[in-house]
Amino acid sequence: MKLTSEAERRAFELGCAVGLGFTQPLGQMRPGSAGRILVVSGGDRDIERGLLEMGFVEGARIEVLHRGWLNRDPLAVRINQTMTVALRRCEANAVLVGPLLERDTGPVAPLGEPLVS
């Protein structure tokens, strides 16, 4: 994985330091998977600011609910089990996600894996 910004490098190092290890952009997660936001960092400051204003903050729990037709835009996600938001893939890729912590509860699949009911 190529880390292009200082914020992404910092989030990756933080994830490794606390034993999280695996991180990925929100745009690559599958429906039914969940994780914790490690960092919001994109090349476009307007996108970054908009995401932060919507509640995409470090430590927030995030779950992927749905992808658009043919796995394209939009991507529907739930933040902190309270708010549902639809994002374009370029916006979702500005959010770096790590796995859930042990204290997190609820029926979710591991990072990147779909939830099987």
Q: 81-90: per-residue pLDDT in tens?
A: 999 999 999 9
Residue 108 has which token pair?
């979710």
* pTM score: 0.70
Domain containing residue 51: 6-98
Q: Flag whether 86 is in a domain.
A: yes
Q: Which helix (H) or strand (E) holds 90?
A: helix 89-92
- Asked if 100 and 61 touch (Cβ cutoff 8 Å), the reply is yes
Q: Flag whether 58 is in a domain.
A: yes
pLDDT band at 68 (very low <50, low <70, confident <90, very high): confident
Mean pLDDT of 87-109: 78
Q: Flag whether 108 is in a domain.
A: no
Q: Flag whether 117 is in a domain.
A: no
Domain of 60, CATH number, reads 2.30.30.90
- Environment class of 105 (CB within 10 Å of its CB; exposed 0-12, middle 13-18, buried 19+): exposed
Number of domains in the chain: 1
Residue 22 has which token pair?
């695996």
- Asked if 39 and 8 touch (Cβ cutoff 8 Å), the reply is yes
Q: Flag whether 113 is in a domain.
A: no
Q: Flag whether 75 is in a domain.
A: yes
Mean pLDDT of 19-47: 86
